[in-house]
Amino acid sequence: QYTNDRVDFVHNFSFRRQETTTGESVSWLRLNAEFVEGETASDLQRLTMIADMIPSAGALFDFEKYLSVNPDLSVTIHRLPTGPWIGQRSVVRTSAHGTGQTDGQLFDERGSLGRSIKSLLIDER
């Protein structure tokens, strides 16, 4: 989806998310649009896009005051997802030194798919 002449990645998904003030969340996500025009995303591409959507430090800090960047994303899986919806259960951990990590479990209607880990860099805006 394009917003003001830029791609708005988040609006290409439907999702239901529950977050806590302790940095834990559970979400179900589904890709609604082509990520690359004219190409249908593979199951692996959908899974990795959803792994990248797992909440970061914004789940713990005021987004207006702090910026969080994930410089890397590691995804390990033992099978591909079935069906359009992919779930994730995650926790965000941060330190007083401006670093953190998001640890997520990936699953679908049949059960576990794998895990994802994101490193976080956090700073004031």
SS (HEC) of the chain: CEECCEECHHHHEEEEEEECCCCEEEEEEEECCCCECCECCCHHHHHHHHHHCCCCHHHCCCCCCEEEEEEEEEEEECCCCCCCCEEEEEEEEECCCCEEEEEEEEEECCEEEEEEEEEEEEEEC
How much is the pLDDT for 111?
Answer: 97
pLDDT at 75 over 80: yes
How much is the pLDDT for 85?
Answer: 94
Average pLDDT (68-90) is 93
How much is the pLDDT for 1?
Answer: 46
Average pLDDT (66-74) is 89
pLDDT at 5 over 60: no
How much is the pLDDT for 114?
Answer: 97
Average pLDDT (96-117) is 93
Give 7's Cβ-side CA count (13 Å radius).
8
How much is the pLDDT for 67?
Answer: 84
What confidence tier does 59 reach under pLDDT thresholds 50, 70, 90? low
How much is the pLDDT for 47?
Answer: 93
Average pLDDT of the chain to the nearest whole number: 84
pLDDT at 92 over 60: yes
| pTM to 2 decimal places | 0.80
